[in-house]
Amino acid sequence: MPKKSKKLESLKQAHGKVESYAITSLDQVWGAADNTRFGTTDEVEFEARLKEMTRADLENFARKHGSIIVESSERIRAELMKVFRNYVSLLKKPVSKPLPTNGTKISPEAQRILNEGR
């Protein structure tokens, strides 16, 4: 019996990290994460939405989100994807864990100095 071959597009790469994100907006608390500046946090969905837009729609959408580009439609889409990725990365802030102290004793003066940066 021949082996079933999997297409490369259907395979996913695993990195072994736990993906947990800190809550950074009230929309995430209420469970309305799709109620964002761009209407979604899914990159594939946003890219599909951009592909459906005409050049005039793209220019208006770019102006609405702070970009003024008068070049080709592909350049506008690329810039909007960049702005979108930056925005989503702000919403998906990784949870930071405190560093272990490994049982070392720190003087109160050193602890005060270290706490100034927080």
pLDDT 10s digits, 32-69: 655 677 888 788 888 999 999 998 898 888 888 887 77
Q: Where are the alpha helices (DSSP H) in the chain?
A: 26-30, 43-52, 55-64, 73-91, 108-115
Domain span at residue 84 reads 20-97
Alpha-carbon gap, residue 19 to 32, rounded angstroms: 19
Question: Would residue 43 count as lying in a domain?
Answer: yes
Identity (one letter) of the amino acid at 51? Answer: K
Domain-located, residue 106: no
So what's the pLDDT on residue 73? 86
- Please check the confidence at residue 72 and state whether its pLDDT lies above 70: yes
Instruction: Give me the mean pLDDT over the 66-73 stretch.
Output: 78
What three-state secondary structure class fits 43? helix
Q: Is residue 38 part of a domain?
A: yes
Would you say residue 115 lies in a domain? no
pLDDT at 81 over 70: yes
Answer whether residue 75 shows pLDDT above 80: yes
Give the number of domains in the chain. Answer: 1
Which has the higher per-residue pLDDT, 93 or 40?
40
Kindly report the CA angle at 103 between 102 and 106, in degrees rounded to 5? Answer: 105
- In eight-state DSSP terms, residue 53 is S
User: Is the residue at 35 inside a domain?
Assistant: yes
Give the CA angle between residues 32, 33, 38 to the nearest 5°: 115
pTM for the model: 0.55
| Position 4 in a domain | no
Sequence-separated (6 or more) residues with CB below 8 Å from residue 118: none
- Whole-number percent of the chain with pLDDT over 90: 5
**Is 77 a member of any domain?**
yes
Judge whether 5 lies within some domain.
no
